[in-house]
Amino acid sequence: MALATTNVRRRWVVALTMPQLLWSLFAAGAHAMSGPHAQVLKFVDQNAASYIETSHRIWAHPELGYQEFQSSAALQAALRQDGFTVTSPVAEEPTGFIASYGEGKPVIGILGEFDALPGLSQDAVPERKVLSEGAPGHACGHNLLGSGAALAAVALREYMLENHVRGTLRFYGTPAEEGGDGKVYMLRAGLFKDTDVVLQWHPADHNAVSNGGMLAIVSAKFVFHGIAAHAAMAPERGHSALDAVMLTGTGIEYLREHVPSNTRIHYTISKGGVAPNVVPDLAELYLFARSPDLATLDNVWARLQKIAEGAGLMTETRLETQVIGGDANILGNDVLARVAQRNLAQVGGFHYNEQEQKFAIELQKSLPPEGVKPLETSARIDPLTPFDPNAPAASTDVGDISWNVPTIGFAAATFVPGVAAHTWQAAASAGMSIGQRGMVVAAKAMALTGADLYASPQLVADARAEFDRQLAGKKYRSFIPEGRQPPLDYRR
């Protein structure tokens, strides 16, 4: 199914994809208010149906990292027709782009993602139903993420235009978040060097401000080169690369006792030889290591390298270390978090309608009983709490941005409560109204926060001072070697 793009205004999609009644009810649920915030929310509501349609079209045509040509083009076309100047490609990423409006300071950036996950094709129904066997699916909700971020940017631009607000607004179209480190290469290309604050969000099963967190990660392959031999007739002539891999795995298991409990190390033997009667001359261990703290991960990674080096010495094989990628943890910003929390609370969540309730109840039957949450979760706003380094977390290249620019994020309830990302249940939620309505909550919270930043130079300065405080005594470093080009074929 091709993703069509057009320069014709797309307001006609309201009647086709989102009944006017739904949006009037949803908009009426917002807190009564006046002034700039009321303007911003009005602009989000006016543009919501169009960007919901964009999110659904991206969902219906999922594309993997650095291959999101139609998804990227759809967002570029939408933003261009809504008044932005679009630059593409950027940072040697064919699907990366920047959409800009305005001039001068402050420079506020909004991050948008649009890549899908392999092998998670799923229809927007509450039971497992593959649309295309082996095909990708939006099981992390990036169809919503990119479109919702663009919706926030469009509403914020209209607010700036109507009120003659000075400043620069940038939407960063960032490809390949799922393991491709797209933002790291954009950062290295200098695309964030003059940005004052970055706003971002991510689909979830709850509504909250994301102030820091996630796990720093390094991914690498330990490739061992040995000497092949007949395993029965002349085993003494062989130097087994597989033995080196197995010894590396054993060393990692012993290391687990001596790393912090919230450190994660997971690996697989991606190459292990071709036949039992041939001593393997090539074997490979593919590894991820993660930690809530970048400095801790740096130390763990150094020890992992020593384990692999030792395995090479024991087996008299040659070690080749290939670093695949790496992301930092997200650096928090308490100043921005307080503003973001106030705005998210002002927006509020949403209640499921009857059809959504039926969908959610049926889908929750596929979840473990202990994982099910009340449907009212979508209507609640979680309190602002400090990041818990021992809480479950994953990794994202947003972390690298946060070590270079003051950054704040939101989570919005786009998944049925209890659903985790990277599952078919998440892909199903992201393709229907539950995901779409949560997307609008995120867009409103981001747009309000952007308006506050443009209105207050002091708030921007305070956010920078808090960034400097959080960074004090710490040093940013990327595990990706300098000079590395974006791995455009990493999903092929």
Distance CA 271, CA 486 (A): 24
Which domains can be identified in the chain, with CATH numbers?
Answer: 13-213+329-471 (3.40.630.10), 216-327 (3.30.70.360)
Range in 15-29, 120-134, 143-157, 275-289 the model is least confident about? 15-29
Amino acid at 486: P
Percent residues over pLDDT 70 in the chain: 93
Cβ–Cβ < 8 Å for 47, 151 = yes
The predicted model gives 316-321 an average pLDDT of: 98
Residue 17's pLDDT band, with cuts at 50, 70 and 90, is very low
The predicted model gives 67-95 an average pLDDT of: 98
Measuring CA to CA, which residue among 191, 142, 199, 113 is closest to residue 402? Answer: 199
- Two structure tokens written together for 352: 């499921």
Distance CA 259, CA 171 (A): 39
Buried b (16+ CB within 10 A) or exposed e, 444-483: bbbbbbbbbbbeeeebbebbbebbeebeeeeeeebbbeee
Distance CA 122, CA 129 (A): 6
For residue 459, the number of C-alpha atoms closer than 13 Å in the C-beta half-sphere is 17
Cβ–Cβ < 8 Å for 397, 65 = no
> Helix 142-163 crosses helix 433-455 at what angle (to 10 degrees)?
40
**Is 0.85 surpassed by the pTM of this model?**
yes
Residue 432's pLDDT band, with cuts at 50, 70 and 90, is very high
Distance CA 107, CA 460 (A): 10
SS (H, E, C) the chain: CCCCCCCCCCCCHHHHHCCHHHHHHHHHCCCCCCCHHHHHHHHHHHHHHHHHHHHHHHHHCCCCCCCCHHHHHHHHHHHHHCCCEEECCECCECCCEEEEEEECCCEEEEEECCCCECCCCCCCCCCCCCCCCCCCECCCCHHHHHHHHHHHHHHHHHHHHHHCCCEEEEEEECCCCCCCCHHHHHHHCCCCCCCCEEEEEEEECCCEEECCECCEEEEEEEEEECECCECCCCHHHCECHHHHHHHHHHHHHHHHHHCCCCCEEEEEEEECCCCCCECCCEEEEEEEEEECCHHHHHHHHHHHHHHHHHHHHHHCCEEEEEEEEEECCECCCHHHHHHHHHHHHHHCCCCCCHHHHHHHHHHHCCCCHHHCCCHHHHHCCCCCCCCCCCCCCCCCCHHHHHCCCCEEEEEEECCCCCCCCCCHHHHHHHCCHHHHHHHHHHHHHHHHHHHHHHHCHHHHHHHHHHHHHHHCCCCCCCCCCCCCCCCCCCCC
Dihedral angle sign, alpha carbons of residues 365, 368, 369, 372: negative
> Which pLDDT score is estimated for 34?
63
Residue 384: is it exposed, middle or buried by C-beta count within 10 angstroms (0-12/13-18/19+)?
A: middle
Residue 270: is it exposed, middle or buried by C-beta count within 10 angstroms (0-12/13-18/19+)?
A: middle
Using one digit for the tens of pLDDT, what is the confidence trace for 373-420? Answer: 999 999 999 999 998 999 989 999 999 999 999 999 999 999 999 999
Higher pLDDT: 16 or 216? It is 216
Question: Residue 488: which region, alpha, beta or left (left: phi > 0; alpha: psi -120 to 50)?
Answer: alpha
Residue 23's pLDDT band, with cuts at 50, 70 and 90, is very low
Buried b (16+ CB within 10 A) or exposed e, 234-258: eeeebbbbbbbbbbbbebbeebeee
Cβ–Cβ < 8 Å for 448, 456 = no
Distance CA 93, CA 489 (A): 11
Q: Decide if pLDDT at 7 tops 70.
A: no
Measuring CA to CA, which residue among 412, 345, 340 is closest to residue 31? Answer: 345
The predicted model gives 450-476 an average pLDDT of: 97
> Which pLDDT score is estimated for 4?
41
- Two structure tokens written together for 159: 């607010």
Residue 492's pLDDT band, with cuts at 50, 70 and 90, is confident
Using one digit for the tens of pLDDT, what is the confidence trace for 174-208? Answer: 999 999 999 999 999 999 999 999 999 999 999 99
Q: Quote the mean pLDDT of the chain.
A: 93
> Which pLDDT score is estimated for 33?
58
> Which pLDDT score is estimated for 427?
98
Name, in order, each residue with C-beta under 8 angstroms of 144's C-beta and a sequence gap of 6 or more: 55, 59, 138, 203, 414, 430, 435, 436, 438, 439
